[in-house]
Amino acid sequence: MTSPLNARLHRSGMVFAAAVTFLAAAVWAAHHGVQAAHYGDQTVSRLAAVWAITFLLLLSQTIMYHCERTRRPSPRARRQLDALHVAVLLPVYNEDDGYLRLGLESMLAQARRPDSVHVVDDGSTSGNYAQVHAWWLQAAEAAGIATTWQRTPNGGKRHAQAAAVRKSPEADVYVTVDSDSCLAPNALEEILLPFAKARVQSVAGIVLATNHRAHLLTRVTDLWFVTGQLTDRSALSAMGAVLVNSGPLAAYRAPVVRDNLDSYLGETFLGRPVMFSDDSLLTLYALLRGRAVQQPSAVVFTALPEKASHFARMYMRWMRGSTIRSLWRMRYLPVTGWAYWAQLLRWFQVALSTTILGWLLIVEPVRYGTTPPASFLVVPFLIGWAQALRYLGVIRSDERIRQRAITWLLMPAAVVGAWTVLRAMRWYGMATCARTGWGTRQNGAEVTLDTNASADEATERVALPDDDTMRIPLVTLPARDTETTLQLPLPAH
C-alpha cells in the first residue's frame, strides 16, 4: 500500500480569510459609497443600486460560510453511528486501473472501515480489471469488509449504483464514491458524524485533486473547485440546504436512496432519459426529507481533467444537469425551506452578473460613450483572492505552502475564465440541456495515475501535527398537470 500523507483544514487560516474578506468587502462598499455620492458621475449613479445589491449578497454569503462548523456529536451518538451498516457504492466504467486500485486501498486504510463495498463494472470497454479484481477480493476478506464485484451491461452510472444498492438491502447509510476517489483515512468516520442529527439526510465531503499539479488547467480547476466548496456550498450547508453533493464522496440515509430508486432510474427530460446530474438528484431527494449538509473534515481526492476538451465535456454536463435540476427544485421543493430561496437567489446572481457585464462592456460604451470604471477590473480579483484564502486553509503535506501560494496567485485566471468562457458555456448548456448523454470516458480512461512519485514530490512531504489531521494516501416526477413535458418519477417521502 502507498504511504499515507497528511492534510487538514487550518482553523487560523479560516479566521484570517474571514478577516480579509470582510475588510475587502468593507473597502469595496466604502469605495462605491463615496463614488455614488458624486451624482455628477452618471455611470456610478446608474449602477449605485446594483453595486449595493451585489455587496449585500457577497456580505451575506461571507457571513454564512463562516458559520459552517464541523459536526462533533456526543460519545453516545458516536456509538450509535458506529453501529450503522455503511455500504459503499462504487460504479466503474473505463477507469484507469491505477486510480481504481488507489481508491480501493483507501477503503482498507479507513479509521472506520465500511461494512461493505459493492463494485459494479458498468460494461467497461477498455479492460476488465482482472488483477485489481483478484487483489481486492482477497484484501477485503482479510480486512473483514464484505464485498461484491459484478459486471453489468452498460446502462450508465445510475444503473450501476442501483445494482450495488440491490446487493446491500441491509445498509443504513449509502456512501457514493467515484471510481477514482481516494478517501482520506478518516473520511468515512467524519462523513457519518452529521447523521447524529435525525433531520440530516445527506452529507457532502470536501473534494481535492489528486493530480492538482499535473497541469496549469488542473491547478486552476482545483483552486476554483475547492474555493467554491468552502464558500458557496459552506454557506448553504450552514442552513442545511446544500443543493449538490459531489460524486467523489457523499453519504445518504439508506431510505433516501432505496425509496426513490425507481424515480432515480426513470428520470426523463423532454422524453429523453437523463444520464447525468445523479448527485444533485439524490441531494434533492434528501432535501425533500430534511437537511443536506457538508462535513468539512471529510476529505476525498479525485482526478481532475488534464485536457481542455475533457474539462469542457465535464463542465457542459454539469451545466445541462444544473438547468434540469433547477426546474425540479422550483417545482418540488417547499417554498418555506431555505433551499428553495437559495435556488432562486443563485439564478438571480447569475442573471445579475451577466447583465452587469453586458451593460458595462456594451451599453455604457455604445449608448453613453463611457468605459467601465477601474474598480470593475480590480474588485473581482480582490474578491476572488479573498475567498480563495479558504483554499490556503487546506494544508496538504504533499506540497509546501509556497506551492499552495503559487496556485492561490492564479485566482485571476479562474476569475477571467469564470466571467468569460465558463459563463458562455453555462448559457450554452442551458440552451442545449435536452442533450442528456454522459459524454466522457467513451473511449477509455481520460486521466491515468503516474505511480512513480518524483523526487521533488517526495522531498516536499512534511509532517503535520496529529491533532485535526487527515491522513491521505497519495497517489416519470409525474407532472402535477398533464400538459407539461417535464417527466420525472415523484420522489418518495
pLDDT at position 374 is: 65
81: in domain: yes
pLDDT at position 436 is: 80
Beta strands at 116-121 and 486-487: parallel, antiparallel or unpaired:
unpaired
Distance (Å, whole) CA 244 – CA 287: 10
Between the CA of residue 124 and those of 96, 439, 481, what are the distances in Å?
11, 15, 40
1: in domain: no
Residue 466 has pLDDT above 80, yes or no: no
Per the model's pLDDT, the better-predicted residue between 436 and 329 turns out to be: 329
57: in domain: no
pLDDT tens digits, 193-235: 999 999 999 999 999 999 988 899 999 999 999 999 999 999 9
297: in domain: yes
Helix axes 338-358, 308-332, angle to 10 degrees: 130
Could you tell me the CATH number of the domain that includes residue 114? 3.90.550.10
Mean predicted confidence (pLDDT) in 230-247 = 94
Cell of 298: 471529510
- Asked whether 161 and 91 are in contact (CB, 8 A), the reply is yes
8: in domain: no
Residue 147 has pLDDT above 50, yes or no: yes
113 alpha-carbon distance from chain centroid: 23
3-state secondary structure the chain: CCCEEEEEECHHHHHHHHHHHHHHHHHHHHHHHHHHHCCCCHHHHHHHHHHHHHHHHHHHHHHHHCCCCCCCCCHHHHHHHHCCCEEEEEEECCCCHHHHHHHHHHHHCCCCCCCEEEEEECCCCCCCCHHHHHHHHHHHHHHCCEEEEEECCCCCHHHHHHHHHHCCCCCCEEEECCCCCEECCCHHHHHHHHHHCCCEEEEEEEEEECCCCCCHHHHHHHHHHHHHHHHHHHHHHHCCECCCCCCCCEEEEHHHHHCCHHHHHHCEECCEECCCCHHHHHHHHHHCCCEEEEEEEEEEEECCCCCHHHHHHHHHHHHHHHHHHHHHHHHHCCCCCHHHHHHHHHHHHHHHHHHHHHHHHHHHHHHHCCCCCHHHHHHHHHHHHHHHHHHHCEEECCCCHHHHHHHHCCHHHHHHHHHCHHHHHHHHHHHCCCCCCCCCCCCCCCCCCCCCCCHHHHHCCCCCCCCCCEEEECCCCCCCCCCCCEECCCCCC
pLDDT at position 369 is: 76
pLDDT band at 367 (very low <50, low <70, confident <90, very high): confident
Map grid coordinates 504511504 to a residue.
3
134: in domain: yes
**Phi, psi (degrees; rounded to nearest 5) at 301:** -110, 145
Instruction: Give the chain's mean pLDDT.
Output: 83
Residue 288 has pLDDT above 90, yes or no: yes
Tally of domains within the chain: 1
pLDDT band at 152 (very low <50, low <70, confident <90, very high): very high
Mean predicted confidence (pLDDT) in 23-47 = 57
pLDDT at position 55 is: 77
Mean predicted confidence (pLDDT) in 452-469 = 39
Residue 136 has pLDDT above 80, yes or no: yes
Cell of 315: 463542465
Residue 23 has pLDDT above 90, yes or no: no
Percentage of the residues of the chain whose pLDDT score is greater than 70:
80
**Phi, psi (degrees; rounded to nearest 5) at 302:** -145, 165
118: in domain: yes
pLDDT at position 461 is: 39
Distance (Å, whole) CA 87 – CA 164: 9
Across-strand partners of 273? Answer: 268
- Asked whether 379 and 402 are in contact (CB, 8 A), the reply is no
Mean predicted confidence (pLDDT) in 266-272 = 92
pLDDT tens digits, 52-103: 777 788 878 888 888 888 888 888 998 999 999 999 999 999 999 999 999 9
pLDDT band at 484 (very low <50, low <70, confident <90, very high): very low
Map grid coordinates 491522513 to a residue.
471
Identity of the amino acid at 20: V
pLDDT at position 482 is: 32
pLDDT tens digits, 175-189: 999 999 999 999 999
pLDDT at position 378 is: 76
- Asked whether 74 and 81 are in contact (CB, 8 A), the reply is no
pLDDT at position 53 is: 78
Mean predicted confidence (pLDDT) in 155-160 = 94
Distance (Å, whole) CA 322 – CA 211: 26
Cell of 221: 480547476
Residue 376 has pLDDT above 70, yes or no: no
pLDDT tens digits, 305-362: 999 999 999 999 999 999 999 999 999 999 999 999 999 988 888 888 888 778 777 8
Map grid coordinates 491521505 to a residue.
472
Nearest partner of 304 among 452, 447, 444, 98, judged by Cα: 447
Dihedral-angle region of residue 413 (phi above 0 means left; psi in -120 to 50 means alpha; beta otherwise): alpha
pLDDT at position 358 is: 82
pLDDT at position 54 is: 77
207: in domain: yes
Domain that holds residue 251: 67-445+456-493
pLDDT at position 4 is: 54
Per the model's pLDDT, the better-predicted residue between 362 and 454 turns out to be: 362
pLDDT at position 460 is: 40
Residue 236 has pLDDT above 60, yes or no: yes
Distance (Å, whole) CA 279 – CA 250: 8
Dihedral-angle region of residue 322 (phi above 0 means left; psi in -120 to 50 means alpha; beta otherwise): alpha
pLDDT at position 483 is: 32
